[in-house]
Structure 1
Amino acid sequence: MQEMNNNSALGLNLTRLTLGGFFLWMGFLKFFTYESDAVSGLMMTNPLTSWVVNIFGNSLSTGIIGIVEILAAVLIFIGCMNSKLGAIGAGLAALTLLVTSTFLIFGPVIQEGLNFPFLSPMPGQFILKDLPLFGAAVWLCLSDLNKQ
């Protein structure tokens, strides 16, 4: 394994802190009705996720997502001390971001009265941010795997 220079270490730690913080915050919010209603409504527009809401209902399905997001955050943070667990957390984050990115295909993301590439502020532009977050999660996962 190559030694990291100071800039690389700073980038890695900043990515770990911000990605972990993002998932902790988003996971926490999944347990509140306003978030649960918004997320489950969006999930119903996507054939990859609608079945989860049909089986578990709004609150439980978003609660499960919240638990997964909080778990990913905790494992990402633990990655400072245990790169194997950090890689698992970042991989879990990447997987959730990959799934949410599919809403760009299946969800109501185009601004009413316009066509692509004009994304609506909500949910289109909000979901678009998942693409660079996905890249950050993959990079963090691979960085942690390379530490082993």
Structure 2
Amino acid sequence: MNALIRRGLKTLAAPGSHGIGIGAMKVAIAVIFLWIGALKFVPYEADSITPFVANSPVMSFFYEHPTEYKAHLTHEGELKPAERAWQTANNTYGFSTGLGALELVIGGLTLAGLVSRRAGLVGAGLAFATPFVTLSFLFTTPEAWVAALGDAQHGFPYLSGAGRLVLKDVAILAGAWLVLVDTARALLRDDKDLGETARLQPVTAAVIARKAA
């Protein structure tokens, strides 16, 4: 193996590189949750998740009229007062605000993991659990797949824009698991070190006492 390549591999394999990677993963997950969570307070983002929520067997009850959503969909950047009024009556914005608040909490806790392992453990756990819900949209949301409008490519495996947006959560799932495992190991190391320190303190005190005598 080339000496330069070997040196590069050793640098990448160093313990410090692992720490940088985990830290970067925490920041990346936090940015996704904080940014998208903040957007949930904006009407256009709330409108865009309507098909996912309306078709979800575990979320549709948050809406007042989930079966009527298709007639009231709008494009991003488009303002239709009548549809906006329907979305308000449907509790689209109320649900989106609650979801956004939850995502902000997850993002904040994950970011706090840079300085607090316990907070980070909770954040990583929630970040790991979230994709199980969002990825289920691939099975429950018709709009996640290219519609049969004449082209030969439609349905599975042809993801629509909405489906491609959901698929990214596979990376969040894997990344959150890595952060979760690393944080758990760090907490166990801390606990072990604390136990060792507590065990050694009486021994050290006895040694000092004997020397003093």
After TM superposition, the score normalised by the length of structure 1 is: 0.90
1:144 to 183, 194, 211: 183
Letter in 2 for 1:124: G
Q: Secondary structure of the residue that 1:111 maps to in structure 2? A: coil
Q: Distance in 1 between matches of 2:129 and 2:64?
A: 21
Q: Distance in 2 between matches of 1:8 and 1:146?
A: 13
Q: Structure 1 regions of 5+ residues with no counterpart?
A: none
Q: Structure 2 regions of 5+ residues with no counterpart?
A: 1-13, 66-89, 149-153, 188-213
**Which structure would you say has the larger RCO, counting Cα contacts within 8 Å and 6 or more residues apart?**
1
- Which residue number in structure 2 is paired with residue 78 of structure 1? 112
Q: Which structure's CA Rg is the greater one?
A: 2
Q: Distance in 1 between matches of 2:163 and 2:99?
A: 20
Q: Which runs of 4+ in 1 moved over 3 A?
A: none
Deviates more, 1:89-98 or 1:12-21: 89-98
Check whether the contact 2:51–2:141 (CA below 8 A) recurs between aligned residues.
no
Write out aligned runs for 1:61-100 (5 A): 61-100=95-134
2:48 to 38, 47, 56: 38
Which digits, 9 at most, give the CA deviation of each residue in 1:64-93, with x for residues without a partner? 111111001111111111111101011111
Q: Distance in 2 between matches of 1:54 and 1:84?
A: 38
TM-superposed deviation, 1:139: 1.6
TM-superposed deviation, 1:37: 1.2
After TM superposition, the score normalised by the length of structure 2 is: 0.64
Q: Secondary structure of the residue that 1:62 maps to in structure 2? A: helix
Identity of aligned residues (%): 26
